[in-house]
Amino acid sequence: MGRLSFLTRLFGGGGGRGAQSPDGGIYIRVRCNACGEVIQTRVNPSSELSALDEGEGEGYFVRKVLVGQKCFRPVEVRLRYSDLHGREVSREVLGGTSVE
C-alpha cells in the first residue's frame, strides 16, 4: 500500500476538488465525452494563473485545452480561483466531464 499511496499523492489523487499536491501543483482530471478517456493535467499556481479583469470580480483564472491519446478531440477546461492557493470557485468543462 505504500507505493500506491505515494503514487496517489504524486499525481494529486484523494485531495478533493482544487486541492494542491505536495509539489505545489493543482491536478485536474476530466473524461472526454467522445471516447471516455480520462485526461489529467497540472496547473502551476505560481505561473499559470492570471488575474481576472476588473469587471469580472476578484480572483484568478486559467484555461486549458486538453487532448487525449485515443480520439484527439479537445476538452476545454476553464477554472476560476479565489486566490493563488488553489481555492476553486468555479469549473467549466466543454467536451468532457470533471472526474474527482
Per-residue pLDDT of the chain (100 residues; tens, 9 = 90+): 455 444 444 444 444 455 567 788 999 999 999 999 999 999 998 899 999 988 778 899 999 999 999 999 999 999 999 988 878 999 999 999 999 7
Q: Residue 19 has what pLDDT?
A: 57
3 state DSSP class of 87 = coil
Q: Which three cell numbers stand for residue 94?
A: 466543454
pTM here is 0.74
Q: What pLDDT sits at residue 14?
A: 41
Cβ atoms < 10 Å from Cβ of 15: 16
- What is the Cα Rg of the chain in Å? 14
CA atoms of 7 and 34, how far apart (whole Å): 28
- Tell me whether strands 74-81 and 60-67 are parallel, antiparallel or unpaired: antiparallel
Total Cβ atoms within 10 A of residue 17 = 11
Tell me if 87 sits within 8 A of 81, measured CB to CB.
yes
